[in-house]
Structure formats: C-alpha cells, structure tokens
Structure 1
Amino acid sequence: MRVQACPALVGVAKRLFGSTSESERDLNDLVHFAAMFTEPTLSEAKERALLRAGEAFLFCSRVPNDHDFFLIQRGNPGPRIASRDTKKVRDTWAFMTYKRSLLGNPEDSFTAKSGQKMRPDFRDATIAAVAKSLRNWDEFQQTAAGFRAEQLASRLMTRPYDKTSPQVDTCEFITETVPDGSLMPFGTAFVKTWTIRNTGNVPWIGRSSKRITPLTPLFPHTAELTPIPTTLPGETVTISVDVVSNRLPGFSEVRFKMVDENGEFCWPVLYPYGLTMVIETRDMIWTERSPGAEDTPWQS
C-alpha cells in the first residue's frame, strides 16, 4: 500500500498512531491491525479465510513460507518469478492462504492456483474489516495501541543485563559467501557463511541460527540448529552452515533466524526474512581443465 494512493487512510493512520508525518508503515499497520481486531468477531470460517487471504495479497511478506513460494515457482514455469512483490505471486499466495484457512489445517499444502478471480472477495473482506474498526473507534484505538506496543517490545528487549537503560538488541549484515543465485550441481557439499555485527547493547550468549525452511528433499540439506559463538556488543561473528544441494533443478531458498537459549526467536518482527541462501541447482558436473590432462571432477 502506498501513501499517494490512500490519502484518506493516511489521515486516519496519523490520528491513530499520533504521527506528524505520512508513513507507509503506519498505513500498513492500520490495515493489518484492523484485520487482527476484526477477525475474532467473525463467526464463519469463510469470512475469516477471506480476510486472511486479503492480508496475504496486500502484505505478502507478512506470512513468508518457503514451501508455498516453491510451489508458486513450480506452478509458473514460464518467466522466472524472482520477487514476491508481484500480482501473480500475491494472487497465488492469497488463494493458498484462503484454502488453508478455510479447511483449518495450516500444515496442508495446495496447488499454486491463481486467486485472481477471487480478488474482489479478498478486497471486500479487507475493506469490511477496516470499516468495522472505524465504527468501533475507541475500542479499536486501544487495541491498536497494544499491537504497536508488542511491535516495539520485539525491538527493545528488557533483559537483566543492564537495568540502567532499555536493552536494544539489533544486528547488522556485513558480508556472505556463496552469493545468492550461485549455480550448484546436484548433491554438492559446500559451506555457506554470513558475517553479522552486534549493533545493540545486549550480548549474544547461548544463541543459535535456526533453520525455518522445511527439512524436505525439496530444499538443500542443512542442520536445523547452528550454534553462534558468544558475541559482545560491537563485535562481529561469522555463522557457517554445511550445505548439501538438493536434487531438483531450479532455484531454492533456505532461511535461518536467530533464536535465544530457550529456542525463542530473537527478532520475530524486526528481521522477518532472517539470513537467506538462494542457489540454483542443475544436473551437471563441474570439471577442472588443465593442459594435457583429462578433466577432473570439481567435487574431487
């Protein structure tokens, strides 16, 4: 959603969040919070499914699911879909969200059928949620304040390390090896690394990098958890993951997110995609050529 296209809602968002300037984040949060406010009041499963699908269309990145994205790519073998922010991806994602919500099983998978014909229904459900929230303004305003406080709580973490000031837990990406889009033969073993910096004032102790992409043959194989060395504020750390490429041709994306010693996500909202690895696999063998000698397989 863009500020230029929704001047009336921008004014409502500024009033709701007490902002002095126009912000796409406030605009998107207004619609998102309205859906969260309205959904518990809907009695029919179809109404809830349509509302969730409308959110999936508008805010594709709010519900990232690598398995869904893989099915979308497989269902559209024409031009390569390299971005989630296209109408084709959003239509398909909205339909899959609708079917999954309607049948009540979030683990089920569905074919990558386009939801273009149902787009008006998804739109109307979202508009109805916003309208209902505005009709119950006082209650919605209090609820939205709670939603926004939960967002901020994920960025400012009150841990007993330093009680004199709020704890800020953030990180910064520095560099990586095996750049996204690298070409790999089937079954190739390699090491993927990311270097990040602790830019907050909370030491990283007992943390790990957790794979959140399904551990299935559709994706490259890695360990589910990779320990992260203790990293003090201002220090950098390199996270190394052993990878074996999958045996399906095409692009694959694997995502990892940092968890604490209790297995809880450190930044559930601040860094929604975490650390990503995107490779392309093909049925081939890399060779090393040398004058006067036979080709040597790259794996050896």
Structure 2
Amino acid sequence: MIYTTQGVMQRQYSQLDGDDWQHLLKSVQHPQWLQASNEQIESYKHTNAPYVVYGTSTGLDRGQSEITARSILFIDVDDNGKDYQTEAHHIDAFLNSFTVNHVIYPTISNGIKPSERLRVAIPLDVELDAEAYSQVWQVLTHYMHLNADPAGAQKAFKQLQGLYVYTTQNAHNEPIIEADGKPLDTAFFLSKYENLSRTTSASRRTTGVPTTGNIPKWAMNNRKIINALLDPETHYSDFGGWDNMLTSIGGWVFKSTQGDIELSADVVQATNDRGISPIPFDDLKHKFASWSKHWRY
C-alpha cells in the first residue's frame, strides 16, 4: 500500500491504490521541480515536499497508527566522505551484481549539505516486519561498506521517506534507475544476518573500550570520547543517546582547550553531521547554547 504526505510535519497519510514499486519509479522519472533558496527549501521540506511510506499501516493518523510492514527498503547515505557519483555508482554496481531492482537519487539536501546526500530504494519480494527489515538493512549496509548502524534501520522502519525533488542545488546529480531486474531476495539476505551478527559481536569484544584493569578513569573517558569522534553512529549508545554523546563531546573539547567555545561548537556540529538522522541546525544551535552553560574547565 502507498501512504503519502505533503511535508514532514503533516500528521495524516493519504492512502493511494496502485503498485508500490511503479509509484516510486514514476516519482523518480517525473519528479517535482523546485527552484528556491537553501532557506526556502528547508521550509518546503516541512510543508510541501512529497513523502511516502510503502507497506502496511494500521491507520491514516501518523500519531495513532503503526507501520507494521514495509514493501520497499530505503537506505539514506548522508556522509560517507565521498561524492554523489562515486557512492551512487558503487551502490549501483553492488545491487546489479544480484540483478536487484533499485533507484538511487539525490535527496533534497544534496548540494546544500556536504558529501553525497543520496537515498537508495529497493523493492522487496515480500513485505518485512520491523525485525526482518532491520536485519536486511544491516546486511546490505555492511556489505556495501556504508557508514550506518542498526539504529538507522529501526528509525527508518517508521520514518517517512522523501521522494525525489529536482532542485537547482541537486540538478548536477542524476538518479540511477534499474527496473529490468527483480525485487530483493529477502530470504537470501536474512540468511546472511546470523554470520554478520556473530562477526560484529566478536569485533566489538576485541576493539571495545576495556572495562577492567588499572586504567585511570580519565583515560577511559577519553577513549570513549575518541571512539565516538571516529564513529559516532556506532558509539552514541555508549552515552545513552545521540544528544548525550554530543554534549559529552562538546564538554570534553571545551575542557581540553581551556574554554575554546568556537572549536567546541565546530566539533559538535561536525560530529552531528555524520549521523544518519542529524539534529537540524537550528535545533542543534539551541541545544548547544543550553549544554554549554554546564561546561567547565
């Protein structure tokens, strides 16, 4: 089933009949066009941009209903440190090796925010519930070497997905459309999850921060912070959440630099920008002002 909204703040779905994959293909082949400033685009995202959920929902009220299954899997790639063309063609080659249908298109933030900013959409041979969707998502992102973590799959399961909007800013990056293959073989990729889970657990045991021995508490904290700076999406749960990680990093930089508030802000913003679902800039600015009141050196 197809559930659409106009603007991410919309609280109601509109339900459409038709084939999910064909609807997505048409939206990419014939996108909305928008000529606007960066600031106008941010407003447009909230009020008019086309968003969609493909799958099954218990109702049309976003606040009351639940998404119980997804028929198309989405992966947002926001900051792998590559350009759009390099990353898009890498993903395209991987999926083509399995003759899997897919579309890859620049998001509405492409050309405004740094790095690739692209979205991958892959039709599934059967609808998946939240657990299976997360497992397939993790396998795909792992084998494509995308900078992402399981939290992204969990959030993405209920998350609205922005359809392709052609803007002046992202016009230089064209979508990739593969419609001559087949839907993703979900059973095959689910079968790879157990091995991936064992490998990941072993890696964490051998590379994680030591919790025993005579290591001073300040050194343990430094290791924790540095791990988060290197790979925030993997380590933010060590702090109890994304916000907690950012304020801990900011306070650590502030203390280590004898009160350099500008550098602290730069590090917090750079870390936030590497997230799958970063805090919007204006919200982060307000949070930073509140957090910094409690920092000391």
Q: Report if TM-score (shorter chain) is over 0.5.
A: no
Larger Rg: 1
Give the number of the structure whose residues are more often helix, by fraction: 2
